[in-house]
Amino acid sequence: MGNVRSRAIDDALFDWPAPDPALKGSRCRRCGAHAFPAMASCRSCGGTEVEAVELPRRGTLWTWTVQRYMPKPPYRSLHTEATFEPFGVGYVELPGTLRIETRLLEHDPARLRIGAPVELAFYTQYVETDGTEVVNYAFRMA
Protein backbone atom coordinates (compact mmCIF):
# COMPACT_ATOMS: atom_id res chain seq x y z
CA MET A 1 0.00 0.00 0.00
CA GLY A 2 2.99 2.31 0.51
CA ASN A 3 1.89 5.85 1.24
CA VAL A 4 -1.67 5.41 -0.01
CA ARG A 5 -4.05 6.32 2.77
CA SER A 6 -7.13 4.21 3.25
CA ARG A 7 -10.07 4.05 5.62
CA ALA A 8 -13.10 1.87 6.29
CA ILE A 9 -16.31 2.98 4.55
CA ASP A 10 -17.74 3.17 8.08
CA ASP A 11 -15.71 2.55 11.25
CA ALA A 12 -18.68 0.76 12.78
CA LEU A 13 -18.39 -2.12 10.28
CA PHE A 14 -14.74 -3.19 10.67
CA ASP A 15 -11.36 -1.76 11.67
CA TRP A 16 -9.16 -0.53 8.82
CA PRO A 17 -6.27 -0.68 8.36
CA ALA A 18 -5.90 -3.71 10.65
CA PRO A 19 -3.78 -6.88 10.49
CA ASP A 20 -6.69 -9.33 10.35
CA PRO A 21 -9.96 -7.41 10.17
CA ALA A 22 -13.30 -9.02 10.99
CA LEU A 23 -16.83 -7.68 10.77
CA LYS A 24 -18.08 -6.09 13.98
CA GLY A 25 -21.48 -7.34 15.09
CA SER A 26 -23.35 -7.37 18.37
CA ARG A 27 -25.05 -10.02 20.46
CA CYS A 28 -27.87 -9.51 22.96
CA ARG A 29 -26.97 -10.69 26.46
CA ARG A 30 -30.64 -11.38 27.21
CA CYS A 31 -31.88 -13.34 24.16
CA GLY A 32 -28.66 -14.12 22.28
CA ALA A 33 -29.78 -12.55 18.98
CA HIS A 34 -27.01 -11.20 16.76
CA ALA A 35 -27.03 -8.05 14.65
CA PHE A 36 -24.82 -6.52 11.97
CA PRO A 37 -23.86 -3.70 12.04
CA ALA A 38 -23.60 -3.70 15.84
CA MET A 39 -26.69 -2.22 17.49
CA ALA A 40 -26.97 -0.40 20.81
CA SER A 41 -30.10 -2.38 21.64
CA CYS A 42 -31.62 -5.67 20.51
CA ARG A 43 -34.11 -5.65 17.62
CA SER A 44 -35.41 -9.05 18.69
CA CYS A 45 -36.29 -8.43 22.34
CA GLY A 46 -35.58 -4.73 22.86
CA GLY A 47 -32.89 -5.52 25.45
CA THR A 48 -30.28 -2.82 26.01
CA GLU A 49 -27.46 -5.07 27.24
CA VAL A 50 -25.58 -5.96 24.10
CA GLU A 51 -21.98 -7.01 23.64
CA ALA A 52 -19.63 -6.54 20.70
CA VAL A 53 -18.74 -9.71 18.80
CA GLU A 54 -16.49 -10.50 15.85
CA LEU A 55 -18.47 -12.25 13.13
CA PRO A 56 -17.13 -15.45 11.49
CA ARG A 57 -14.99 -14.84 8.40
CA ARG A 58 -16.35 -17.84 6.52
CA GLY A 59 -19.88 -18.85 5.61
CA THR A 60 -22.11 -20.01 2.78
CA LEU A 61 -23.94 -18.11 0.07
CA TRP A 62 -27.65 -17.93 1.05
CA THR A 63 -28.88 -15.98 -1.97
CA TRP A 64 -27.48 -13.69 -4.65
CA THR A 65 -28.17 -11.43 -7.61
CA VAL A 66 -26.12 -9.35 -10.00
CA GLN A 67 -26.54 -5.57 -10.06
CA ARG A 68 -26.48 -4.84 -13.78
CA TYR A 69 -27.24 -1.12 -13.81
CA MET A 70 -25.38 1.63 -12.00
CA PRO A 71 -27.26 2.62 -8.83
CA LYS A 72 -28.14 6.30 -8.44
CA PRO A 73 -26.44 8.39 -5.75
CA PRO A 74 -25.82 8.00 -2.82
CA TYR A 75 -23.93 5.18 -4.59
CA ARG A 76 -20.23 6.06 -4.91
CA SER A 77 -17.73 4.06 -6.90
CA LEU A 78 -14.59 4.17 -9.01
CA HIS A 79 -16.77 4.08 -12.11
CA THR A 80 -18.91 6.28 -14.35
CA GLU A 81 -21.96 5.12 -16.30
CA ALA A 82 -19.57 4.44 -19.19
CA THR A 83 -17.16 2.27 -17.20
CA PHE A 84 -19.74 0.65 -14.88
CA GLU A 85 -19.27 -3.07 -14.41
CA PRO A 86 -21.98 -5.35 -12.95
CA PHE A 87 -21.34 -6.51 -9.41
CA GLY A 88 -22.59 -9.35 -7.25
CA VAL A 89 -24.76 -8.79 -4.18
CA GLY A 90 -25.93 -11.46 -1.80
CA TYR A 91 -26.74 -12.64 1.67
CA VAL A 92 -24.16 -14.83 3.32
CA GLU A 93 -25.06 -17.18 6.15
CA LEU A 94 -22.48 -17.06 8.93
CA PRO A 95 -22.73 -20.24 11.00
CA GLY A 96 -24.48 -19.90 14.34
CA THR A 97 -24.91 -16.13 14.04
CA LEU A 98 -26.96 -14.58 11.24
CA ARG A 99 -27.24 -13.79 7.53
CA ILE A 100 -25.69 -10.55 6.34
CA GLU A 101 -26.11 -8.52 3.18
CA THR A 102 -22.85 -8.16 1.30
CA ARG A 103 -21.14 -7.30 -1.93
CA LEU A 104 -19.75 -10.39 -3.70
CA LEU A 105 -16.40 -10.34 -5.49
CA GLU A 106 -17.96 -12.47 -8.21
CA HIS A 107 -20.64 -11.55 -10.70
CA ASP A 108 -20.62 -14.55 -13.05
CA PRO A 109 -23.98 -16.34 -12.60
CA ALA A 110 -22.30 -19.59 -13.61
CA ARG A 111 -20.10 -19.40 -10.51
CA LEU A 112 -22.64 -18.08 -8.02
CA ARG A 113 -24.43 -20.97 -6.34
CA ILE A 114 -26.63 -21.05 -3.22
CA GLY A 115 -24.79 -23.02 -0.54
CA ALA A 116 -21.32 -22.33 -1.95
CA PRO A 117 -18.57 -21.61 0.62
CA VAL A 118 -17.51 -17.95 0.82
CA GLU A 119 -14.96 -15.96 2.81
CA LEU A 120 -14.58 -12.36 3.98
CA ALA A 121 -12.64 -10.02 1.68
CA PHE A 122 -12.14 -6.27 1.24
CA TYR A 123 -12.12 -3.99 -1.79
CA THR A 124 -11.95 -0.29 -2.62
CA GLN A 125 -15.43 1.16 -3.06
CA TYR A 126 -14.29 4.66 -4.07
CA VAL A 127 -11.45 7.14 -3.71
CA GLU A 128 -11.92 10.49 -2.04
CA THR A 129 -10.73 13.72 -3.66
CA ASP A 130 -7.62 13.77 -1.42
CA GLY A 131 -6.68 10.29 -2.67
CA THR A 132 -7.87 8.32 0.37
CA GLU A 133 -9.09 4.87 -0.62
CA VAL A 134 -12.41 3.98 0.98
CA VAL A 135 -12.57 0.26 1.73
CA ASN A 136 -15.73 -1.86 2.03
CA TYR A 137 -16.27 -5.48 3.06
CA ALA A 138 -17.33 -8.21 0.66
CA PHE A 139 -17.28 -11.99 0.38
CA ARG A 140 -15.54 -14.02 -2.29
CA MET A 141 -16.03 -17.59 -3.41
CA ALA A 142 -13.77 -19.73 -1.17
* Interaction site with other proteins (CB under 8 A): 9-10, 12-13, 25, 33-37, 43-44, 62-69, 71-77, 87, 89-91, 93, 97-101, 103, 109, 114, 125-126, 134, 136
Contact present, 24 and 55 (Cβ < 8 Å)? yes
Question: Looking at beta carbons only, is 17 or 85 nearer to other proteins?
Answer: 85
Give the CA radius of gyration of the chain.
16
**For residue 109, is the peptide bond before it cis, meaning its omega torsion is within 30 degrees of 0?**
no
Question: Looking at beta carbons only, is 3 or 13 nearer to other proteins?
Answer: 13
Q: How far is the CB of 32 from other proteins (least distance, A)?
A: 10
Q: How far is the CB of 73 from other proteins (least distance, A)?
A: 7
d(CA 116, CA 105): 13
Question: Looking at beta carbons only, is 6 or 125 nearer to other proteins?
Answer: 125
d(CA 134, CA 122): 10
